[in-house]
Chain A
Amino acid sequence: MTDKEYNIAVDLYADGVYRFIVKNIRHQEDARDIVQTAFEKLWVNRTIVDSLKIKSYLFTVAYHQMIDHIRQGAKMITTEDFETVNNHSTYQKDGELKQLLLQAINELNPTQKSLVLLKDYEGYSYQEIGEIMSLSESQVKVYLHRARLQLKHKLVHLDKVSA
């Protein structure tokens, strides 16, 4: 990767990496730090990173930084937080599917959430997601299908409750 490609990568991927992290940990300052660390590592390793693998490299580094961040017990809003309950009541009032889905996503565990985000937001294949998250393709498929079904049941259940 050339130096110029690095700056182009900032333009192309910084927003996506930040969205992926902030949707997972839901903490903007920590997400900024993680993104900055990911691009710092990309810059340090720019001579060994393939130009075609820049995006997956960034997501891989950012994901593992996020896992370390979660393991270190950093603040992460859980499903029992007041905000979630409050969002639920907001959904009941608004009846918006998007709000309900976001609430359901936040009730997934970090791995499932990362799988859904990488698939839906970034459009990665099972194989690419497996490379980023250090999982096999079959594991990605199984975990992601479980997450989809979980979301579907949540949506159906909440839809019935709201109805």
Chain B
Amino acid sequence: MELNEKTYETYLLSYIDNELSHSERLMVERFVKSEPKYTAALKDLQNAILQPETIVFEDKALLYRLEEMNASLDLDFKKSLYRTETATPTTPVISLWNRNVLRYSAIAALFVLTIGTAIMLTSNKDKAIVLSANNSIPEAKKLIGNINDGIVSPTQALNSNQPSQVLAANTKSSVQLVGKSKTEPFQPISIGVEHTIIASSSNTLFDNKNTLDNNTTQVVEAIEAVASIEKVQINKDVDFSPVIQNTYQAESFEEINTSEPDRVIYISSIEIDSDKIRGFTRRINALFKRNKSDKQ
């Protein structure tokens, strides 16, 4: 096709579409330079060509076949991508439930510790009394033996210095033990072997026990207990009443008005300040109520 006035537009269009051969392109370029209107026509057509612009498809990750990429990757490269755990110090995490358990456990442990301390102090006191009685057994035995042999009368024994003091001390201790056995339920395990022997032997050795007053009975039981432990026979006709009257002071008891709000509270032999106890219990109750409301 010849390049002329009628066909030049087709040539120009093929020229801008880069569809001409090298010789045809040179021919068109010469033709365009021959006339300014052809140059303007080529310029207008070139203005109609789109200039490439960059538009990125951002979802390429959806298109990749990762299993194939993974298979094609080098093993060392893949190993370099592995995440390695470093030894970092971890802070212990305690859940709220465990904190409450720990708090309640601490309160319970404090309560148990208090009760345990009180019981331990009480048991040590009883043990000290028993030990005191046991330690004086040989001397009491010696004194009772002298009484039975007629060497020393109970009154002389009382008036003499050293033995009478021993007897008085022993008697007082023993009376306390016996007194406990009469006012409290009989507990062989908690009191000890000595107390059991006292209780069991009190009705067998003395026939005239009923003629004695209450205080005398207690003292006789105590001495009897000491004697029975060492299997010493005591003369039934010996009158212990002077000894008892001089060595034992009768105890007086007062009935406690339990309805009185300000009464003193005793746990074992420990006096407890009731106001402080009430404050303590009030705090514990408030703590429990607060935890309960928090959970709700």
Residues on A lying within 8 angstroms of B by beta carbon are: 3-4, 6-7, 10-11, 14-15, 17-19, 22-23, 32, 35-36, 39, 43, 97-98, 101, 104-105, 116-117, 119-121, 123, 125-126, 141, 144-145, 148-149, 151-152, 155-156
Is A18 in contact with B62, judged by CB distance below 8 angstroms?
no
Is B57 in contact with A35, judged by CB distance below 8 angstroms?
yes
Ranked nearest first, the 4 interchain pairs of A and B with the lowest CB-CB distance are A151-B48, A18-B57, A3-B68, A120-B50
**B49-62 vs A: 1/0 string, CB under 8 Å?**
11111111101101
- Contacts A10-B60, A32-B59 given; does A117 touch B72 at CB 8 Å: no
Is B57 in contact with A32, judged by CB distance below 8 angstroms?
yes
B72's partner among A4, A11, A43 (CB-CB below 8 A) is A4
A155's partner among B13, B47, B56 (CB-CB below 8 A) is B47
Residues on A with beta carbons closer than 8 Å to the beta carbon of B84 = none
Is B65 in contact with A43, judged by CB distance below 8 angstroms?
yes
Q: How far is the CB of B45 from chain A (nearest CB, A)?
A: 6
Is A152 in contact with B68, judged by CB distance below 8 angstroms?
no
Is B57 in contact with A15, judged by CB distance below 8 angstroms?
yes
Q: How far is the CB of A16 from chain B (nearest CB, A)?
A: 9
Residues on B with beta carbons closer than 8 Å to the beta carbon of A125 = 19
Is A36 in contact with B55, judged by CB distance below 8 angstroms?
no
Answer yes or no: B64 CB below 8 A from chain A CBs: yes
Residue of A nearest to B17 (CB): A119
- Contacts A7-B64, A7-B68 given; does A148 touch B13 at CB 8 Å: yes
Q: How distant is the Cα of A125 from the Cα of B14 in the complex, in angstroms?
A: 11
Chain A CB within 10 Å, residue with most, of B13, B57, B71: B57
Residues on B with beta carbons closer than 8 Å to the beta carbon of A121 = 50, 52
Number of A-B contacts (CB under 8 A): 82
- Contacts A3-B72, A144-B17 given; does A39 touch B63 at CB 8 Å: yes
Answer yes or no: B69 CB below 8 A from chain A CBs: yes
Answer yes or no: B44 CB below 8 A from chain A CBs: yes
Residues on A with beta carbons closer than 8 Å to the beta carbon of B72 = 3-4
Secondary structure at the A interface, as helix, strand, loop or mixed, is helix
Q: How distant is the Cα of A11 from the Cα of B56 in the complex, in angstroms?
A: 11
- What are 21 A-B pairs at a CB distance below 8 A? A10-B60, A10-B63, A11-B60, A14-B60, A15-B55, A17-B57, A18-B57, A32-B57, A35-B57, A36-B62, A43-B65, A97-B47, A101-B48, A105-B50, A119-B17, A120-B49, A121-B52, A148-B45, A148-B48, A149-B9, A151-B48
Within 8 A of A (CB), among B4-44: 9-10, 13-14, 16-19, 44
Residues on A with beta carbons closer than 8 Å to the beta carbon of B51 = 98, 120
Other A-B pairs, 18, CB within 8 Å; known A3-B68, A10-B63, A14-B63: A3-B71, A3-B72, A4-B72, A14-B57, A18-B55, A18-B57, A22-B55, A23-B55, A32-B59, A39-B63, A116-B50, A117-B50, A145-B13, A149-B13, A151-B48, A152-B44, A155-B44, A155-B48
Residues on A with beta carbons closer than 8 Å to the beta carbon of B13 = 144-145, 148-149
Looking at chain B, what size class is its interface with the partner chain? 20 to 34
Residues on A with beta carbons closer than 8 Å to the beta carbon of B57 = 14-15, 17-18, 32, 35
Is B59 in contact with A152, judged by CB distance below 8 angstroms?
no
Residues on A with beta carbons closer than 8 Å to the beta carbon of B59 = 32, 36
Residues on B with beta carbons closer than 8 Å to the beta carbon of A148 = 13, 16-17, 45, 48
Is A6 in contact with B68, judged by CB distance below 8 angstroms?
yes
Chain A CB within 10 Å, residue with most, of B48, B54, B56, B64: B48
- Contacts A6-B65, A32-B59, A35-B57 given; does A145 touch B44 at CB 8 Å: no
Is B50 in contact with A7, judged by CB distance below 8 angstroms?
no
Is A120 in contact with B47, judged by CB distance below 8 angstroms?
no
Q: How far is the CB of B198 from chain A (nearest CB, A)?
A: 101
Residue of A nearest to B52 (CB): A121
Q: How far is the CB of A54 from chain B (nearest CB, A)?
A: 13
B10's partner among A14, A15, A116, A145 (CB-CB below 8 A) is A145
Residues on B with beta carbons closer than 8 Å to the beta carbon of A101 = 47-48, 50
